[in-house]
Amino acid sequence: DADVTQTPRNRITKTGKRIMLECSQTKGHDRMYWYRQDPGLGLRLIYYSFDVKDINKGEISDGYSVSRQAQAKFSLSLESAIPNQTALYFCATSDLQGPTETQYFGPGTRLLVL
Amino acid sequence: KNQVEQSPQSLIILEGKNCTLQCNYTVSPFSNLRWYKQDTGRGPVSLTIMTFSENTKSNGRYTATLDADTKQSSLHITASQLSDSASYICVVSADYGNNRLAFGKGNQVVVIP
């Protein structure tokens, strides 16, 4: 079984709709992250959480919100989706253990906003 | 602004050949540098991680080097295989423990028979 899972894997929605992307992990990590990836661009951080109820804005948080109600789950919401939010979304986890902290990524959610 | 630049943007190589990918960064202060491999349609997977004091690290046929003085890193793939076709992403950490990561755009490698 995968350590970091994302649902749904693919989603098509219309402009203005509210959608939620879910991320679950079985690694027992405290830290969780949401990124988006666009063609020709590097991964960009949307939000991150270092513990339950801890929420921090990343580089591109506008138009997104997150919820961390449990250690194992971190959800990303688009309150009113717009076409330029069409992208590949990745959830990641990490457990800080010295200077070689590694992030473990989920399989991604491909989102299309029409 | 912290930046990570990777070259070449894309590369086609014959199966069995070697190749080298480059990563230059301006991130400061430097904490560590990682190389990830991302297969098409999948999430990135860590290949190597190097701290300031490390100048080379290997993972099978993948060997990463780091020159912290010139702020350059390379990833060398030896005896490439078709399964090496992927995007290779260089990620530099600016501040240990605070998630200040700078991502490169990736080197797209295609291995052909």
Q: How far is A16 from chain B (nearest CA, A)?
A: 27
Q: What is the pLDDT of residues B31-89, one digit of tens each?
A: 889 999 999 989 999 999 998 888 999 999 999 999 999 999 999 999 999 999 999 99
| A4-63 confidence digits (pLDDT tens) | 999 999 999 999 999 999 999 999 999 999 999 998 888 999 999 999 989 999 989 999
Nearest to B23 by CA among B59, B53, B48: B48
Query: Per CB distance under 8 Å, which residues of B are interface residues toward A?
Result: 4, 31-32, 34, 41-46, 49, 51, 89, 93, 96-97, 99, 101, 103-106
What confidence score (pLDDT) does residue A34 get? 97
Q: How far apart are CA B70 and CA A19, in angstroms?
A: 45
What lies within 8 Å, CB to CB, of A90 at 6+ separation is A6, A34, A35, A36, A37, A43, A105, A106, A108, A109, B43, B44
pLDDT tens-digit readout, B79-96:
999 999 999 999 998 765
**Bridge partner residues of A112 (DSSP):** A12
Q: Which residues contact B40 (CB under 8 A, 6 or more apart)?
A: B86, B87
Separation of alpha carbons A104 and B106, rounded Å: 17
Best residue in A105, A109, A110, A111 to probe B by mutation, most B CBs within 10 Å?
Answer: A105
Tokens 């009113």 belong to A80
